Structure 1
Amino acid sequence: MSVFMRLASVFACLATSGVALAQSIAPGADVDSLLALARQDNPAFAAEGFETDAARERVGAAGALPDPRFTLELMDVTNTMSGGSTSVLPGQVGETRYRIVQPLPGWGKRALETEAAVASAAQAEAARDGAWRTLEAAVRSAWLRYYQAERELQFSREQQGLLSGIEAAALARYRSGEGSQQDVLQAQREASAQRLGVLAIEQRRQAAVAALNALLGRAPDAPLAAPQPPAPLPAGLAFATLVERARTAHPEVRAEAIGVDAARIERERARRERQPDYAVGVTYNRPREGRESWDLMFEMMIPLQQGVRDARQRETAALGLAAEARRRAAETRIAGELGAAWASWRAASDSLQLLRSTLLPQAEAGRDAARAGLAGSQVGIGEVLMAEAQVLDTRLALLQTEVEARMALIELQRLSGELE
């Protein structure tokens, strides 16, 4: 073997190893690896996280005292009293006053501002949790579509191989005089139709890969590992437990409940607006001629505009009623969605049991009988093709029903949290 051939062999081995390594480290074999990527790289969820961080930072700033005010006052800038010339420089006028004033909110207002900021941060965290549940359900659903396309492709390619064998058998029977030309044409037609079906499934698979990569913040054609079979479906679920968990733990319900507390805080803040705010200050007086002195100031805001405050209290009371109504509406809507998902889950589970225990065994028995009949020249190619098609259709129906059951399970998980 020449040196060039050896080098070519080495490079071919390296390329093959590189492809195998890339496939082994590509995500997608299970949904958990994709969820980790989505939590890290999905831009929409990242935005929710940053908004939550911003809301948490606002808690630290809430309730702080307002900044003090500094005032410089120049008295008698024309120097009329001293007979001098006009000046605007401190120390060169009749008297210079330096004043610092610190506003002081009324009693309890700062604490209420902090409570409002804490409630806002809690709402932001609930919104982030809700965004993650939605993203998690989307990733699980997209991966399930990817898994379904891969399984359909596997079934169809197996069927394609069987049809190629039947086509060859039909051709051999025709040449030996045992079969008809019609059997050959029917077998060829079924094989061609199956090849078209494989192309359609491959297109669906590519679309599923692009949709899944979009949720992960990756390029549409980024490689994904072949999906492994998912975990078995749970044997049974308690609907009452799911409803209770959805009512108490769903992020939207939590956010609306926090909104009720936030509305209560706003009502209290509106009530506290009837109380005055204050300010204290100190002034340093420095005359051009004479002795320096200090002044102490106390200021109180007079809450005369009671009509405005009455309207504000009525507004916050109405907003509180609206927040409570939104909370009840969220609970009702989520319970309805949970009931619909539960019905889908039950229907798919029952159909899955029927397909596995009855229809698929019957289709396989019919196929085996048709194959045996063909070997004994008791049935024709058409009966075998029909039996094989019945098995494929049943397997595809079983796969579709399993996917529907898992989709319903994903929706139940999105609404009620992790399923045990």
Structure 2
Amino acid sequence: MTYALQTAALATLLILGAPARALAEESLPGASVEPLLTLARAHNPDYASMRFEAQAATERIAPAGALMDPKFRVEWMDVTQAGSQAPTLWPNDVGSTKYTLMQDLPWFGKRDLKQNIAAQEAQASQGKAQGSWAELAARVKTTHAQRYYLHNTQKLTLELLDLTTRLAKVAQVRYAGGLAMQQDAIRAQLEQTAMQTELVALQSESRQVDARLNALLARPSNAALAAPERLRPLPVAAKLNPDTLMARVEHSNPQLFSEASRIKSAELGRELSLKNRYPDFTLAITPTQMRNRITEWSLMLEINIPLQQASRRAQEREAQAMLDAATARRAAMANQLLSELSENLAGFDAAQNTEKLATSSQLPQAELTFQAALAGYENGKLDFATLLDAQRQVRQAKQAQLKAQLEAQMRLADIEKLLGEEL
């Protein structure tokens, strides 16, 4: 094969392979947060366990209101026919056989109360599952924002490392020409080493964050992830009205929803404890067989006598205490959640303002300072230390941008976790 044919074949392979590589990269999760949330909802085992627990609680509703299974009793009377025969259980050969069918019946309304209590417990479990998802979604969103921050910080460090390398060459040229001291070249090399060390730390932290994200998605810890390309858009200011959000937390927060269901369950439990003052019943019907025919029919009514009033009063006081505890717990939780909402709203506003200042003021000023310092150093008017300080200011301004974006995303994730829904 000639050199020209080999070159053409190689070019063809590269052209054909590029779309395949691009497709493989696109199929990996991690570029944006939405596919990550879909994977977490489908595969996270903790959330799956909470869903199954909620399903199990729902299945308890029907049995809670069902009657107890009936009981069947058989009694053989005079199995030896007054000693005239060997013992037998055959109905035609004994004196008589009684068949009793019994059914336990609770006092009126108890079954409905038990079923309603189970329904409220099922709603509390569903709220707990929703809270588990809100917590999981917030962790996924936060981890994605951390990946975005680390990825772009590495890019920024690489850019500045390349710039520092060019500055080191300028310092070496000036030193060779007798226009600068050797110390300038040494400082540039020290700056390069510091950035390379920081890159190692950033790469290590990125691998740790990737492992945490894969764990949330129930993937192997070293599974490949796409590079984070974008953050979620931030909501407009109209959606962040504190009064509106507080009302939404009161209405939609999964934890408060669960606690409200537990309060209703405790109220029904107190009502059930009062019903226990009244007796339960047992009804029975008894046909009696003699030889090969039914000769008698009997009915039976059994009532338990609720004499242990001290025990029942203690149960009623327990039910009232459980209700008071559930009410106080919900009030405490509401106060805590509203406090967290206020903190996160304040942090979100601060992050947005910080990003605006870094973008509109700090970064342009730092870049102008660096350009002026670079020109001054090339002209011999400024020393190399001043040039490095100007470079660090540019870096700090860009890092302030990234940190503010990360902080805003983390605060937004926490706000949505408190709401139990996305803004």
- TM class by shorter chain equals over 0.9
Cα distance, 1:369–1:309 mapped onto 2, change above 3 Å: same
Deviations 1:129-179 (A, max 9, x none): 111111111111111111110010110011111111111222222223333
What is the distance in 2 between the residues matched to 1:51 and 1:114?
A: 18
2:289 equivalent among 281, 286, 289: 286
In structure 1, C-alpha distance between the alignment counterparts of 2:23 and 2:64, rounded to whole Å: 53
> Do residues 316 (structure 1) and 323 (structure 2) align?
no
> Quick one: which amino acid aligns to residue 116 of structure 2?
E
CA contact (8 A) 1:263 1:323 kept: yes
Aligned to 1:132: 133
TM-score normalised to the size of structure 2?
A: 0.92
Q: Which secondary structure state, in structure 1, belongs to the residue aligned with residue 249 of structure 2?
A: helix
Aligned to 2:194: 193
Counterpart amino acid of residue 141 in structure 1: T
Kindly report which structure 2 residues correspond to 1:342-353, keeping only aligned pairs within 5 A, or say none: 342-353=345-356
Q: Using the TM superposition, give the Cα deviation of residue 396 of structure 1 relative to its aligned residue in structure 2, in angstroms.
A: 0.9
Match of 2:148 in 1: 147
Q: TM-score, normalised by structure 1?
A: 0.93
Moved more, 221-230 or 340-349: 340-349
Pick one of 37, 40, 46 that aligns with 1:38. 40
C-alpha distance in structure 2 between counterparts of 1:291 and 1:36, whole Å: 68
Moved more, 271-280 or 65-74: 271-280
Tell me, yes or no, if structure 1 residue 300 matches structure 2 residue 303: yes
Structure 1 residue 92, shift from structure 2 partner: 2.6
Q: Secondary structure at the match of 2:67?
A: coil
Conserved? CA contact 2:100–2:285, under 8 Å: yes
Aligned: 1:274 with 2:277: yes
Stretches of structure 2 lacking an aligned partner (at least 5 in a row): none
Q: State the 1:90 CA deviation.
A: 3.6
The two structures, once aligned, show a CA RMSD in angstroms of 2.3
Q: Deviations over 1:327-348 (max 9, x none)?
A: 1111111112222222322332
Three-state SS of the structure 1 residue aligned to 2:92 is: coil
Deviation at 1:380, TM superposition (A): 3.7
2-side partners of 1:238 and 1:146: how far apart? 29
Matched position secondary structure for 2:289:
strand
> What amino acid maps onto 1:194 in structure 2?
M
1:256 maps to which of 245, 251, 259: 259
In 1: Cα distance, 2:273 partner to 2:2 partner? 91
Instruction: Compute the displacement of 1:85 (Å).
Output: 2.5
Alignment correspondent of 2:337: 334
Contact 2:91 2:292 in 1 (8 A): no
2:173 paired with 1:172: yes
Query: Structure 1: which 5+ residue stretches go unaligned?
Result: none
Find the counterpart in structure 2 of residue 122 from structure 1.
Answer: 123
Out of 284-293 and 131-140, give the one that drifted further: 284-293
Give the distance between the partners of 2:294 and 2:202, measured in 1 at CA. Answer: 96
SS of the equivalent of 1:292 reads: strand
Residues 37 and 73 of structure 1, relative CA distance in 2, 3 Å threshold: same
The letter for the 2-side match of 1:28 is G
CA distance in 2, matches of 1:381, 1:69: 97
CA distance in 2, matches of 1:179, 1:46: 66
Instruction: Determine helix, strand or coil for the equivalent of 1:218.
Output: coil
**Structure 1 residues 276 and 2, CA gap change in structure 2 (3 angstroms):** farther
Q: 1:407 aligns with which of 395, 407, 410?
A: 410
Q: How many residues align?
A: 419
Partner of 2:370: 367
1:356-381 Cα distance to aligned partner (Å, 9 max, x none): 22221211110111222234343343
Q: State the AA in 2 paired with 1:83.
A: S
CA drift at 1:15 = 6.4
Paired residue secondary structure (2:247): helix
Moved more, 85-94 or 135-144: 85-94
Q: Distance in 2 between matches of 1:15 and 1:285?
A: 89
Shift of 1:11: 7.2
Aligned in 2, Cα 1:176/1:60: closer, same or farther, shift over 3 Å? same
Determine if contact 2:367/2:394 at 8 Å carries over to the other structure.
yes
Aligned 8 A contact 1:123 1:259 in 2: yes
Return closer, same or farther for 1:73/1:379 CA change in 2, 3 Å cut-off: same
Letter in structure 2 aligned against 1:411: D
Aligned-residue offset at 1:288 = 3.1
CA distance in 1, matches of 2:111, 2:306: 18
Cα distance in 2 for partners of 1:7, 1:66 equals 83
Aligned CA distance change for structure 1 residues 291 and 414 (closer, same or farther; 3 Å)? closer
Alpha-carbon spacing, 1:291–1:17, altered in 2? closer, same or farther (3 Å): closer
Conserved? CA contact 2:28–2:224, under 8 Å: yes
Cα deviation digits, residues 251-278 of structure 1 (max 9, x gap): 1111111111101100111111112212
The farther-off stretch of 186-195 and 374-383 is 374-383
Q: Give the corresponding residue for 1:325.
A: 328
- Quick one: distance in 1 between partners of 2:163 and 2:323? 68
CA distance in 2, matches of 1:141, 1:291: 77
Determine helix, strand or coil for the equivalent of 2:392: helix
Contact 1:23 1:223 in 2 (8 A): no
Aligned equivalent of 2:28:
26
Q: Verify: 1:156 aligned to 2:164, yes or no.
A: no
Once residues 116 and 134 of structure 1 are traced to their aligned partners in structure 2, the CA distance between those partners, rounded to angstroms, is: 27
Work out the CA distance in 2 between the residues paired with 1:348 and 1:397.
10
- What is the percentage of aligned positions where both structures have the same residue? 36
CA separation of 1:179 and 1:65: change in aligned 2, threshold 3 A: same
Give the CA deviation at 1:279: 2.2
- Once the two structures are TM-superposed, the CA of residue 241 in structure 1 deviates from its matched residue by 1.5
Q: CA deviation at 1:17?
A: 5.2
Deviation at 1:7, TM superposition (A): 12
C-alpha deviation, 1:2, in angstroms: 7.2
